[in-house]
Amino acid sequence: MARAMDTAALHPEIRDAIVKLPRLPFASRVLLPVARTIYDFASRSKVLDGVEVSSISTGENDLVMYRRTANPTDAGVLWIYGGGYLAGKPEHLNRLASQVALETGATVFVPRYRLAPRNPFPAAFEDCKSAWLWLVDNAATLGIDNNRLAIGGNSAGGGLAANLANWARDGSRLQPVAQILFYPMLDDRTAGDRSLDDLGNFIWDNKANHAAWSAYLSPHQPGSESLPKDAAAARCEELGDLPPTWIGICSLDLFADEDERYAQRLQDAGVTCLVEREDGVPHAFEAICPDAEISQAFVGSAIAFLKDALE
């Protein structure tokens, strides 16, 4: 069950940083521009040495490409950033994307996608689908083997990545060899449970979650009896025949329960699913405290899983 804020429950390595972090007003439509500005500033990260970064415009998509300068492999990864469908940009993944490129040799592509509330569903998902199809169609030109393509995502980006894998399977399109989901935002029904509003979770609470899902799903409401197909990955009724999956779960995250349920459903459907569950950490802790040992172990687990899948 999602837990209320209790600073004593935080892992000692990250406690001070999390306690000092300001709560952003994502729950307020009026203050959303302020929340975005602060989020964009706070989420900056640096590209690691040994990785070349370039921008690509496909005509339909803008992507940022991260490639190891020394002996890159012919593997590729489409990685989608988070921000509650309300905020975010590719550069927020500078550190993670360059670390993935360095340690796996894969070239990482981070697509820019349209944000709610100006662009509700299916805008973000259509942008991610378009980016995946472009990558598949242009893999040979990019020096990438179509049989060595994976997807990943953080938070809302994890939800989009999960939907992308479901969509690719349902349409008999090229499937990724793996999906890597960092604390994915999968289930609008969490937002629809207003009893969770008073828990006050660290980093991302259910008031912000409700505002985000409401903006993304408009005119539908989170928790509605039915939603358009591909609007929320947890609504997918059949999870069989999906690629091997790594799911990172944070014990103090609002999404912990929905992520645990999704992982169990994947396993029940016969999908290889490795769950990395970190205790005493909130949503996006590894991005806030990237040098902490617990953060490095979390990211290291995902990269090791991805590397094995790409070989």
CA–CA separation, 185 vs 82, rounded Å? 9
Name the DSSP class of 253: S
Q: Is the pLDDT of residue 180 over 80?
A: yes
Confidence of residue 4 (pLDDT cuts 50, 70, 90): low
Is 155 noted as a catalytic residue in this protein? yes
Active-site hit among 127, 188, 253, 259: 253
Q: pLDDT per residue over 132-153, tens digit each?
A: 999 999 999 999 999 999 999 9
Going 220 to 130 to 90 to 294, the CA torsion angle's sign is positive
What is the pLDDT, as a whole number, of residue 2?
A: 44
Of 43, 155, 214, 295, the catalytic one is 155
Cα separation, 279 vs 11, in Å, equals: 7
Q: At what angle do helices 156-170 and 123-138 cross, to 10 degrees?
A: 60
Which range among 22-31, 71-80, 258-267 shows the weakest confidence by mean pLDDT?
A: 22-31
230 included as an active-site residue:
no
Is 283 one of the annotated active-site residues of the chain?
A: yes
CA atoms within 13 A on the CB side of 66: 30
C-alpha–C-alpha distance, residues 108 and 121, integer Å? 25
Overall average pLDDT of the 48-66 stretch: 95
Q: What is the pLDDT of residue 1?
A: 46
What single letter denotes the amino acid at residue 83?
G
> Nearest Cα to 84, choosing from 215, 177, 277?
215
Q: Which of 11, 98, 283, 295 is catalytic?
A: 283
Question: CA 300 to CA 115: how far, in whole Å?
Answer: 30
Contact between 234 and 262 (Cβ < 8 Å): yes
The structure's pTM equals 0.96
Choose the weakest-confidence range: 1-15, 215-229, 296-310: 1-15
The residues that bridge with 26 in the sheet, in sequence order, are none
